[in-house]
A and B are shown apart, each in its own frame.
Chain A
Amino acid sequence: MNRETATTRQTTMHPLLWALLFTAVFSLAIYSIAFAQGSTPTDDEVNQIAKKLYCPVCENIPLDACPTEACRQWRDQIREMLSQGKTEAEIIDYFAATYGERAASDPRDKVKAYLVPIVAILLGAAGLVSALRKWRKPQAAHPAAPANEAQLPAQMDDYVARIEEELRNRD
C-alpha cells in the first residue's frame, strides 16, 4: 500500500530529486552494509532509536529510560534489527506494526494529530483579528485621542513625567 503511493509519486519527480534520492539510498546502503559487516551496534545507537519508542509496560516512560525486563527485550530487538542493517524508520515502522501505534512516541498519523490544534489556533487568531477590527471601528468616529497619551516622549525629562504620571494614575 505504502509502496504503491510512493512509486506513483516518484514518476512525477524532478531529475534532481532523483539524483538526491539515489545518493541517499546509496549512502544508506553503504551504511547498512557497514553495519551488517561491522561490529554490533553500540548502546548509544540503540538508545537513539529507543528514545522515540514507548513500551506499553512502562506507561509514559521512553524506552531508553525504562528499566523493566520487557523494555530490555525491546532494546535487544532494536539492536538485532540494527545489526541486520535496518534503518531507524524501518525499525519504528516494525514496532508500530507489531505492538500498535502507541509504541511510537510521535503520532504517526500527522494529519489527525496536528489538524485539530492548528485549526483551533487559526480560528482563535481569526476571532481575535475580527474582534480587534470591530473595536477599532468606532475610532474613525472620534479620532481625537488625547495628545499627551499619543506620543512616547523621546527625552528623558518627558520620560520621567510619563513614569510619574503613570504612577499617579495607578489604581
Chain B
Amino acid sequence: MIAHFGFGILLIAFFVTLYATLTSALSKREAPQRAASMVESARRAMLLTFPLITLASALLIYLLVNNHFEVQFVYQVTSRSMPTYLKVTAWWGGQAGSLLFWSWLMSAFASLATLRNWERDREFLPWVILVSCFTLAFFLGMTAFFENPFKMFYQTSDGVGAYFFQPANSMLFTPEDGRGLNPLLRHPGMVAHPPLLYLGFVSFVIPFAFAIAALITGRTDDRWIRITRRWALWAWLFLTFGLVFGGRWAYDVLGWGGYWGWDPVEIAAFMPWLTGTAFLHSVMIQEKRGMLKHWNMLLIILTYDLVIFGTFLTRSGVLSSVHAFAQSAIGPLFFGYIIVTFVASVALLLHRWGSLKAETEMKSLLSREALFLFNNLLFMSVLVVCFWGVIYPLTSELFTGSKVTVGPPFYERATGPLFAALLFLMGIAPLSAWGHSTLKTLGRALWKPAVVAVAITLALYAFYTRNAYALTGFFLVAFVVSITVYEYWRGARARQKSKHENFLAALSNLTKRDRRRYGGYLVHLSIALMAIGILGIELFQIETQGTLEINQRMSLGGYDMQYQDIARFTGPDGREVTRAVVGIYQNGQFLGNLHPRIDYYWDAQQAMTIPGQRATMKDDLYILLVNWEPASASGATFKIYVNPLVNWLWMGSLLFFAGIAIAAWPEKDRERAVVKASRQIHEAGAAK
C-alpha cells in the first residue's frame, strides 16, 4: 500500500518536473505577458517537486526502517539485524534508492536557486528552470521507470518476480529477511561519504544551469559567474569533503593501509573536482579582466558532464570496481543523456563563440592571469591523465583484445610532476599582480619566503630524509606555507601601521575586507598541509607481515607489538567477529592495546578486515589481522603499517572547511549593495 503510494508520488513528481521543463522551454515563443505567466507557472511546478520527492523519500525510509521486505529494494539493502541508522542510510546504499536520493538533492538545490531574488536576472529564470528540471526529470524518470525503489515481489505461476503493479493471479510475496546492506557500506563513514559526494555533484548543476542560461540569452558579461560564485564554492567544498571522507572510509574499512587506490570510480569522482577547481580559479580572471569567457563556459560544461559521466561509470557496469553498483539497464540511458547534454551545450557555446570576446588583453606572462592559465593547463593535464587511465583499458580491450590494468604506478608517475608544478604555482600566483608583473617585481616579493623554504628543506635534509622526491615535495609545501603566511603577515602589518590596530584585530579586519582572497589563502594552506600527509604516506609508508604465537612480538618503525589474545564471537547484527588484542610498545614503554579484527558477514558471505589504529601527528600505527585459523596451532598472521604524517591530511581538510566558509559565507548587506550598484550600471547601460 505504502509502496504504491510512493510510486504514485514519484510519478506525479516526474510529470510535474516534465511540465516545468516544457513550460519554461516553450515560454520563449509566447508574447511577453503570457511568457511571464508561463515562467511563473514553471517556477511553481519546480518548487512543488521538492515536497513531492521529500514525501516519496520519507515513504521509502519508512519501508526501510520497518522491514517491508515485500519491497524489492528493501529486501536488497536491509536485513532485520541491521541497526536503524544503517537502515536509513540504506536509502543511498543501492542503485534505485541512491537515484531517488540524487533527485531529492537536485530538487532541493534547484528550489533554493529558484527562491533567490530574481529581480535583476529575470531573463535567466526560464533557462535555469529548464536546465535544472531537465536534469531532475532525467533522474526522476530513471527512478520511476527503470530503477524503481517501490517495486514489490509477487508470487505468480512462473515464480517470484518484482513488479510495479500486482499481476493477474498473483500473491504478494514477503521474504523472511532481507539480504542486508553490502558490508562495506555498514560503516559510519558511509553515512557521510555518499551524501557529501552527491551534494557536491548536484550543486555543480546550478552554476551549469546559469551558464547555459547566459549562453541562451546571449548575455555575455560575467553576471552568471557572480551569481553562482558561492554555489560553486560550496559545491567544491562538498565535493572535496566527499572525496576526503571517501578516503577516510577506505582507510578505516578496506584494510589495505591506504586511503586512495586510483580505482576507476574514485577517479570518476575526482575528475569533476579537477575541472571544478580549474573553474573556480579561471572565473576570477573573467571577473577581474573580462577574459577567458569561452574557457569558463567549457569548464562548467565539462564539470557538469563529468558529474553525469562519473555517475554513469559507477552504474553502468562499463568498469568493474570495488565501488560499482550491480550491473543495470540504465547504462545506455545515462550514455544517451551525456551525449545529448554535452553535444547541445558545446553546440550552444560554438554558436555564441563570437560574442564571447575578451575585453582586455594579456599583458605579461608573469601576470596573475597568465599564471592562472598555467594552473588551468595543469589541472586539465591531470584530467587528461585520469581520463586516459580510465579509458585506456577499455580501448585496449576493444582493439587488441587484451585486458590491462592501469594501477597506481601509472597515475603516480604521470600526475606527480603535475601536482608538484601546481604547488609551485600556488606559491607564486598570489604574489603576482593582476595585469602586469615582471621577474623583478615577482622576485622582490618572492625572495624572503623562498629563503625560509630553502632553510626548512635543508633542515629536513639534515635531520629527516634524503629522498629527492620527498625533499622536492616538502620544499614546495614550505614555499607555499611561508608565502601564504607572509602575505597574511604583510597585510596585517600594513593595516596595523596605517590604522593603528593591534595585530590580531588587523588580521581579522584584513580577512573581513576581502574574505574571498584570505579564505582562498586558508584553502591554499590547507592543501599544503594535506600535501604533507600525502607525501608522508606515499613516500615513507613501511609495512611488515608475520605470523605470531600468543605473547610473541614483532616490531616496525620503532613500535613493538605483542600479540596477547584473540577471541571469536557473534556480533549484535549477526556478523562473526574475530578480534585480536595487541599490546603496543615504544622504547619499552607500554602505549596501549589495539584491536584489529575480521568481521565476517554470513548474510553477504563477505569478510571485512578492520584495522587497529593508533594515530599521532608524526605517524599512524595501523595493524591488520590477516589470518587466524582456530583449528591450527600456527598462531595469527598480522600485517603492520607505519604511515608517517598521514594525519596532516585529515587535519588539513578541517582548515579547508574554514577557508571555504570564510570565502563563501553569505554576506547579505554587501551583496545587496553590490546588486543595487550594478543594477544602476546595468540600467544605465540598457538606457544607452
A4 CB–B CB distance under 8 Å: no
Chain B min CB distance to A53 (Å): 9
Identify which of residues 65-121 in chain A touch chain B, using a CB-to-CB cut-off of 8 Å.
65, 67, 100-109, 112-114, 116-117, 120-121
**CB atoms of B261 and A60 under 8 A apart:** yes
**CB atoms of B444 and A113 under 8 A apart:** no
A19 CB–B CB distance under 8 Å: no
Contact partners of B437 in chain A: CB under 8 A: 152
**CB atoms of A159 and B494 under 8 A apart:** yes
Contact partners of A102 in chain B: CB under 8 A: 393, 402-405
Alpha-carbon gap, A92 to B261, bound state (A): 20
Alpha-carbon gap, A59 to B323, bound state (A): 10
Alpha-carbon gap, A23 to B261, bound state (A): 37
Contact partners of A120 in chain B: CB under 8 A: 381, 384, 388
**CB atoms of B370 and A132 under 8 A apart:** yes
**CB atoms of A166 and B514 under 8 A apart:** yes
Contact partners of B404 in chain A: CB under 8 A: 101-102, 104, 107-109, 113
Chain B min CB distance to A78 (Å): 13
Closest Cβ neighbor of A159 among chain B residues = B494
**CB atoms of A113 and B433 under 8 A apart:** no
Please choose the segment from B3-11, B43-51, B360-368, B642-650 that sits at the chain A interface, where 4 or more of its residues have CB less than 8 A away: B360-368
**CB atoms of A154 and B381 under 8 A apart:** no
Closest Cβ neighbor of A122 among chain B residues = B381
Chain A min CB distance to B310 (Å): 16
A128 CB–B CB distance under 8 Å: yes
Closest Cβ neighbor of B437 among chain A residues = A152
Further pairs besides A52-B409, A60-B321, A112-B396: 6, Cβ < 8 Å: A104-B405, A106-B407, A107-B404, A124-B384, A135-B361, A170-B514
Closest 9 CB pairs of A and B: A105-B407, A65-B256, A135-B362, A43-B545, A152-B441, A106-B409, A160-B494, A102-B403, A59-B320
A-B contacts, 27 listed (Cβ < 8 Å): A43-B639, A52-B407, A59-B321, A60-B261, A60-B263, A67-B609, A67-B626, A102-B402, A104-B404, A104-B405, A106-B407, A107-B406, A116-B388, A116-B392, A120-B381, A124-B384, A128-B377, A135-B291, A135-B362, A139-B363, A149-B434, A152-B444, A156-B493, A163-B510, A166-B514, A170-B514, A171-B226
State the A residues within 8 Å of B (CB): 42-44, 47, 52, 54, 59-62, 64-65, 67, 100-109, 112-114, 116-117, 120-121, 124-125, 128, 132, 135-136, 138-139, 145, 149-152, 154, 156-157, 159-160, 163, 166-167, 170-171
State the B residues within 8 Å of A (CB): 226, 254-257, 261, 263-264, 291, 320-322, 358, 361-363, 365, 370, 373-374, 377, 380-381, 384-385, 388, 392-393, 396, 402-410, 414, 433-437, 441-442, 444-445, 490-491, 493-495, 497-498, 510, 513-514, 516, 543-547, 607, 609, 626, 637, 639, 674, 678
